[in-house]
Chain A
Amino acid sequence: RKEVEQDPGPFNVPEGATVAFNCTYSNSASQSFFWYRQDCRKEPKLLMSVYSSGNEDGRFTAQLNRASQYISLLIRDSKLSDSATYLCVVTGNTGKLIFGQGTTLQVKP
């Protein structure tokens, strides 16, 4: 079983749609959680950290469920510029980052 699992997609949605990505992780000792965004042929960029209480940044909302070892990312009012691969990232032992394989989002006009 992979340490971080994501549905690779692709998710094809129209502009303005709401889309949700899910991620599960296997290490119950993980302490930090993140969503990164990676555009084609670019480096990953931190989108947001994920906190136990859930957090929101504009159109983006992240949720963490420690009991189920589950993380989600909700994007409201999708824009064409949201098209990218979204990487779910958790810390493993000693704080190392472990990356999921990513979920590809394509927002269509």
Chain B
Amino acid sequence: SAVISQKPSRDICQRGTSLTIQCQVDSQVTMMFWYRQQPGQSLTLIATANQGSEATYESGFVIDKFPISRPNLTFSTLTVSNMSPEDSSIYLCSVEDETGSSYEQYFGPGTRLTVT
């Protein structure tokens, strides 16, 4: 499976500021995703990062709050804008395995964000 890294691994930010999270994959992948995992909760898909076009957002998530870039097939960024304490969460990127026929996904180590 692909090796995925994320930066930063954790951060503590003040409300009203923005943080950009980077996701790097060691091979070219078509499908990349961004998830959020709030404390004590399971994963929720934020958006699909599309290479060369705008990201596809899930219900409840908007581009102004979570702008996403996907400049090539190995890299993506997620920005959490105008942060509030409710944005404190783990943010994970994932990629879809392109060697099989199912939708198996593999996750980066996550970025632990605390907003004060």
Chain A interface residues (CB < 8 Å from chain B):
31-32, 34, 41-46, 49, 87, 91, 95-97, 99-102
Contact = CB atoms under 8 A, between A and B. Distances in A.
Nearest to A50: B102
A43 B108 contact: yes
Contact of B43 (A42, A95, A99): A99
B: interface residue count bin: 20 to 34
B105 A97 contact: yes
Contact of A97 (B1, B45, B110, B112): B45
Contacts of A41: 112
Contacts of B105: 46, 97
Nearest to B44: A99
A77 B27 CA distance: 37
Nearest to B4: A43
Nearest to A4: B42
Interface of B: 1, 33, 41-45, 48, 58, 92, 102-110, 112
Nearest to B31: A95
Contacts of B103: 31-32, 91, 95, 97
Contacts of A99: 42-44
A43 B48 CA distance: 18
A45 B4 CA distance: 12
Interface centre among B41, B103, B106, B112 (most CB of A within 10 A): B103
A43 B90 CA distance: 9
Contacts of A42: 109-110
B102 A102 contact: no
B42 A34 contact: no
Contact of A87 (B42, B44, B108): B42
A87 B110 CA distance: 17
A44 B42 CA distance: 10
A49 B104 contact: yes
A49 B109 contact: no
27 contacts: A31-B103, A32-B102, A32-B104, A34-B104, A41-B112, A42-B110, A43-B92, A43-B108, A43-B109, A44-B43, A44-B107, A45-B106, A46-B1, A46-B104, A46-B105, A46-B106, A49-B102, A49-B104, A91-B103, A96-B58, A97-B43, A97-B45, A97-B105, A99-B44, A100-B42, A101-B41, A101-B42
